[in-house]
Amino acid sequence: MIGVSDSAAEGAPAPGTDHVRKRGRATGSPIAEWSFPADPGAVRTARTVVRRVLNDWGLNGAADMAVLLVSELVTNSLRHATGPIGVRMVLLSAGELLVEVSDPLPDPPQERTAAPDDEGGRGLQLVACSSRRWGTRRGKSGKTVWFELSVAG
């Protein structure tokens, strides 16, 4: 289980299951969450399950961007942390999709400017430019990087 227990979505459970859970809060907002081992196959698996759930929720238009940003954040977790990686999605009532990626490393990610020939260093810039808003927060034993996408029709 991921040690991050706080949440940007009031009343929503913390990441930490090894399978998708679709649960409703008092408002009926769908929630899906997963925990992946820290191995390279986690990125592909995360992309697949995120796309599948967003399609199930009728949010096909948001799927490509959400999959891209989740892929970036899970890759960052694999590069810099050891231990399980949590991914959680909450469809908020205001037409927003909250996506969280958690890992056991407490240090927040650092945005940097990548040189044209750098192979890395653009992931957080991509998240910042492509999401409605984003941020990080520390948990009891790790951190969460989150972003919101507008999914209102």
Of the given ranges (65-69, 81-85, 114-118, 139-143), which has the lowest mean pLDDT?
Answer: 114-118
Mean pLDDT, the chain, whole residue set = 81
Phi first, then psi: give them for residue 147, nearest 5 degrees. Answer: -150, 160
Beta bridge partners of 32: 89
83 pLDDT higher than 80: yes
Query: Could you tell me the CA-to-CA distances from 11 to 26, 28, 131 in Å, in that order?
Result: 8, 11, 23
Q: What pTM was computed for the model?
A: 0.80
101 pLDDT higher than 80: yes
Strand, coil or helix: what is 50? helix
68 pLDDT higher than 60: yes
- What's the gap between Cα 51 and its chain centre? 12
**What's the pLDDT at 37?**
94
Q: For the residues 73-81, what does the mean pLDDT come to?
A: 91
**What's the pLDDT at 114?**
66
* pLDDT tens digits, 24-41: 433 456 999 999 999 989
**What's the pLDDT at 120?**
67
Q: What is the DSSP letter of 108?
A: P
